[in-house]
Structure 1
Amino acid sequence: MKNSPSEQMVRDWAAVVAQYAPSTRARVRALAQQHQHALASRFYDSLLSDAAASQLVSHEQVQVRLHASMMRWITDVFADPEDIAPQALVERQIRIGEVHARIDVPVHLVLRGARSLKQGFYALLGAEDESRNDGAAVQLVTQTIDLAMEIMSQTYAHSHERSARADEAYRLLSMVQNASMERERQRAALLDWESAVMYEIAVGEAARLPRMAASEFGLWFRHKGVHAFQGTSEAEAILAAIAHVDEVVQPALEAAQDVEERQRQARELRDHARRMALDLDTLFQKANELEGGRDVLTSLLNRKFLPVVLSKEVAYARERNSQFAVIAIDIDHFKQVNDVHGHEAGDMVLQQFAALLSDSVRGGDYLFRLGGEEFLMLSVDVDEARAVAAAERLRARIAAEVFRLPRDRTMTLTISIGLAMHDGHPDYQRALRRADVALYAAKQRGRNCLVVADQVADKVTAG
């Protein structure tokens, strides 16, 4: 649920404005408009001087997306109340606080930038005719920026608290959901990878062995398992073993010149796989049964955990310099299914559709039912070409599928797809909006097609 402005916040903002003469407000407003570029640069120079902040946003992102937004903010907070009402300004500060919470910008960094911004205003005021420097303008700048920071910080705290609760709930859910089935699936995936490697070695094709991190088991563990079992020694051991096998054991195998060395490295690889299987069993044995957080009809994840998963994948992409795709999916003309065949048929179609989706993704990917006939897929560790190819395969598969209805009836369906690659922006909402815009474009182009966000003329700009 979105934060909304309290009456007290709006009254506080209106009170700050009312304290000062129109001439004082006009003076500050003129300075803000005249020097907005330099003041915005001052804010971001202060922010980017901190190592933690520079990991969240780069100089390029500031120049391309954020600098213009900051300039607008500087002029808007000092706008005439007849142009922008106090309630609208409070709502903007709330939205900014929500963004800061989503991308996990530390509050102290924002406050540091605000302090630098105030100092910039003070210097500009001091450079004017001293006879006009009665202190009222300085107080107006201080109170306005401080109140904006107060509202942002309050919103940030509330949003962060909700995210923390959802994150813990998701961690518990992902740890125990269908635990016994997941354990067998991942044990089988680990065995499949081991068998594939051993076959390559046996037939003398060890020049380039399949890496564990890119296997079904590796994708699942790096993107889901490590989150579900975070903080356990077994999870850390498996993660370290994946890296060791891929970076040390397999390169040594590929470079081995004699049979004895190749056999020794193969035995070490097999030992690592066996220990990982044992650690995996231990992790699942520790998990207790817990249900919830999944869509009742389709058993896919529901909207509740979308922020948790996307935040986690944004952080992962930043740390590993990897990519992921957000794929918005909508069943075409689904309302007609319910209207013509009834809601029982609609539910059957949704269940079959969800099963097809689940059968079409890899172990590390995520599937959500957002509501009605709207679904979302998060495809991890992919570039745009691979993401587009996978989405097109899914579209073709759905179009070719025969869906079963009550009383032995059948029907066919199509889907529209909007795809957006994560472009490095720290706020995951940007990728979601771009995928939604692309999905809307697919609908406008006649449905049963895929549109990539970068192909849409009306691109989403950063907030």
Structure 2
Amino acid sequence: MPRLSMEQLSVEWAALNQKFPAQVRQFVLEFCCEHSLDLAQHFYSEMLQDPAASLFLSHDQVHSRLQGSMQRWIAGLFAASDDEALQRLIAEQKKIGEVHARIDVPVHLVLRGARCLKDRFVELLDQAGTQAEGQRLAAARLLSDTIDLAMEIMSHAYSVSHDRNSRTEEAYRLFAMTQNIASEKERQRAALLDWENQLMFDQAVGLQAAQLPRIHASEFGLWFRHKGIHAFEGTAEATTIMEIMEQVDDTLLPLFDEQPEQKVQRLRELRDRVKVIRFSLDHLFEQNNALEAGRDVLTRLLNRKFLSVVLTKQVSYARDKGTPFAVLAVDIDHFKTINDSHGHEAGDRVLQQFATLLINSSRAGDYLFRLGGEEFLMLLVDTGADGARRAAEKLRQNVAREVFRLPQEQSLNVTVSIGVAGFDGHPDYQQLMRRADEALYQAKHSGRNRVVVAQ
């Protein structure tokens, strides 16, 4: 569907409602409220028969929470009475679509669920038999059209979010393979030079234009089209490189046959274009691009950019392999006081030394993030809640013993509060993050310098 604004979607939803008399809309609202439990139970009984759906719906918390949410959602589709309420309703559909994308629920399952709801609604209407046939038909059409519109909005939000997640995941895959940005830069410069040298050689030995190597098919071209373009998405340099690659393959190389007397001039043009590619590539690697943006500049830990990718992968792996993992939400106590009393340079020193301590407290497979300010997150792989609690307590003690060195030979001691949450099988990683954040909140508001494990 097109990228309609909230106002446009409100107009479309209002226009749909206006197609039906007020008494029909009121009847559908009351009927859905009356039978919301039946509809929700039917939805789950039908969906759980699908092996793919059971992966997402069999978890106890999902079942208990979403059954109530489904009841509210069904009735809520027909309860909006003004434009503001419609906008809230539309925002809810977008949020649902984004959640589906985050936990990777297949779209066909969502559409199947909608079909099951519509079928059950018609069955209940027929069983009730209190409405005339025309009224039952109008009620069925209103419900069907409304659910279809909700599905369109969800699907669009799903698509946008899924595409964004896919680009981030690809950038992370590239990032994970290229921890040394300088070496990746040199590797791609060398690949570009190899293509250029091969082209010059093939042209010198008299190959026809059609036989000359295309930059799109070169090692550099493959890397840039399938990885680099996503990592550097949105930059002017990336657009320039793609445009030049198209010009070289589609326009410049064919001219070597058509205008042989201008071969030297064509070679100069080719060399100039390659220089622009090389310059643009250098600039991409030097600026704060998508690769380097994966790390916090100050601490060199991962930042939020790849948090969703890492957690999504870990949830998928844990559910597939049956292995545990846990997250530690870590916050340096009274960090603002450090900045206020000793200055921001001292605060930066504390953050850097603390990051080093985190690295020394982690294993090779663990992940370390700086989420912003004095907030950090540790993801401990192959570790249950009890092991994570012990690791958190050891970290807390190590921090308390550490002497943090400040400028002008000053020093101080700091403490941390830690919230621990073990993965419990829920497919949405944000639920795990919320539990860790709530535990951290309890730790900070019950005296700080302590570890709290989420229940």
Whether these two folds match at TM > 0.5 is yes
Deviations 1:251-274 (A, max 9, x none): xxxxxxxxxxxxxxxxxxxxxxxx
Query: Map of 1:136-155 to 2, 5 A cutoff?
Result: 136-155=138-157
Question: How far apart, CA to CA, are the structure 2 residues paired with 1:62 and 1:302?
Answer: 29
CA distance in 1, matches of 2:171, 2:62: 34
Label 1:292 to 1:63 Cα distance change in 2 as closer, same or farther (>3 A). Answer: closer
Tell whether the 8 Å contact from 1:125 to 1:133 is kept in structure 2 after alignment: no
Tell me whether 1:126 sits opposite 2:112 in the alignment: no
Partner of 2:172: 170
Q: SS in structure 1 opposite 2:161?
A: helix
In structure 1, C-alpha distance between the alignment counterparts of 2:182 and 2:444, rounded to whole Å: 40
Change (3 A) 1:93 1:165: same
Q: Which AA in structure 2 matches 1:42?
A: H
Shift in Å, 1:6: 2.5
Shift of 1:145: 0.5
* Residue aligning to 1:104: 104
1:78 is aligned to: 78
- RMSD after superposition: 2.2
Distance in 1 (alpha carbons) for counterparts of 2:356 and 2:62: 42
Aligned 8 A contact 1:331 1:373 in 2 = yes
Once residues 326 and 24 of structure 1 are traced to their aligned partners in structure 2, the CA distance between those partners, rounded to angstroms, is 50
- The superposition leaves residues 387-422 of structure 1 with CA deviations (integer Å, 9 ceiling, x where unpaired) of 100000001111111101000000110111111111
Instruction: Find the residue that maps to 1:129 and give its secondary structure.
Output: coil
CA distance in 2, matches of 1:63, 1:156: 21
Count of matched residue pairs: 346
2:12 matches 1:12: yes
Q: 1:268 corresponds to which residue?
A: none
**Which residue in 2 is equivalent to 1:293?**
294
Q: Which residue number in structure 2 is paired with residue 50 of structure 1?
A: 50
Q: Give the aligned partner of residue 305 of structure 2.
A: 304
C-alpha distance 5-359 of structure 1, shift in aligned 2 (>3 A): farther
Match of 1:367 in 2: 368
**Residue 163 of structure 2 is aligned to residue 158 of structure 1:** no
1:221 aligns with none
- Indicate conservation of the 8 Å contact 1:46/1:112, yes or no: no
Q: Name the residue aligned to 2:68.
A: 68
Q: Distance in 1 between matches of 2:106 and 2:359?
A: 37
What is the Cα deviation at residue 292 of structure 1? 3.7
Q: For the structure 1 residues 99 and 86, does the alpha-carbon distance in structure 2 shift closer, same or farther, using more than 3 Å as the test?
A: same
Q: What is the CA-CA distance between 1:175 and the residue it aligns to?
A: 1.2
What is the TM-score of this pair, normalised by structure 2? Answer: 0.73
Q: Which amino acid aligns with 2:336?
A: K
Q: Distance in 2 between matches of 1:179 and 1:8?
A: 44
Task: Look up the SS of the partner of 2:295 in the other structure.
Answer: coil
For 1:397 and 1:22, the matched residues in 2 are separated by 67
User: What's the CA shift for 1:179?
Assistant: 8.6
What does residue 315 of structure 1 align with?
316
1:405 aligns with 2:409: no
Aligned mates of 1:418, 1:429 — CA distance in 2 = 15
What letter corresponds to residue 22 of structure 1 in structure 2? A
**1:76–1:84 Cα contact (<8 Å) kept:** no
1:251 is matched with which residue? none
Rounded to whole Å, the distance in 2 between the matches of 1:5 and 1:374 is 35
Q: What percent of counterpart residues are identical? A: 57
Instruction: Provide the rounded CA distance (Å) in 1 between the counterparts of 2:84 and 2:426.
Output: 29
5+ residue gaps, structure 2 = 184-284
Question: Per-residue CA shift, 1:268-299, capped at 9, x if unaligned?
Answer: xxxxxxxxxxxxxxxxxxxx996441000000
Correspondence for 1:207: none
- Is 1:388 the counterpart of 2:389 in the alignment? yes
Task: Report 1:236-275 matches (<5 A).
Answer: none
| TM superposition shift of 1:46 | 2.6
Deviations 1:347-375 (A, max 9, x none): 11111010100110111111111100111
Q: Which aligned segments of 4 or more residues in structure 1 are displaced greater than 6 angstroms?
A: none
Larger radius of gyration: 2
Match of 2:301, SS state, is: coil
Distance 2:140 2:7 in 1: 26
Distance 1:385 1:129 in 2: 58
Q: In 2, are the aligned partners of 1:173 and 1:292 still within 8 Å (CA)?
A: no
- Asked if 2 retains the 8 angstrom alpha-carbon contact of 1:57 and 1:425, the reply is no
- Offset of 1:180 from its aligned partner? 11
> How big is each residue's C-alpha offset from its partner over 1:184-242, in whole Å with a ceiling of 9 and x where there is no partner?
xxxxxxxxxxxxxxxxxxxxxxxxxxxxxxxxxxxxxxxxxxxxxxxxxxxxxxxxxxx
Q: CA deviation at 1:148?
A: 0.8
SS of the residue 1:85 aligns to: helix
Task: Give the corresponding residue for 1:31.
Answer: 31
Change in CA separation of 1:5 and 1:349 when aligned onto 2, cut-off 3 Å? farther
Normalising by the residue count of structure 1, what TM-score does the alignment of the two structures yield? 0.71
State the distance in 1 between where 2:346 and 2:87 align: 46
Partner of 1:422: 423
- Does the 8 A contact of 2:62 with 2:426 survive in 1? no
Query: Deviations along 1:297-332, whole A, 9 cap, x unmatched?
Result: 000001010000000000001011111111111111
Match of 1:89 in 2: 89
Distance 1:4 1:428, change over 3 A: farther
CA contact (8 A) 1:324 1:422 kept: yes
Residue 6 of structure 2 contacts residue 87 of structure 2 at CA under 8 Å; is this kept in 1?
no
Task: Give the deviation of 1:130 after TM superposition.
Answer: 4.4
Measure the CA separation in 1 of the matches of 2:118 and 2:170.
38
How far 1:378 moved relative to its partner? 0.6
Matched position secondary structure for 1:20: coil
Deviation string, structure 1 residues 27-83 (Cα, Å, up to 9, x no partner): 111111111111012222232222222223316445323211111111111214259
Contact kept? 1:370, 1:376, Cα under 8 Å: yes
Match of 2:257 in 1: none
Alpha-carbon distance between aligned partners in 1 of 2:418 and 2:9, rounded to the nearest angstrom: 41
Is the partner of 2:144 in helix, strand or coil? Answer: helix
Find the aligned partners of 2:131 and 2:452 in 1 and give their Cα distance.
Answer: 59
Distance 2:309 2:80 in 1: 39
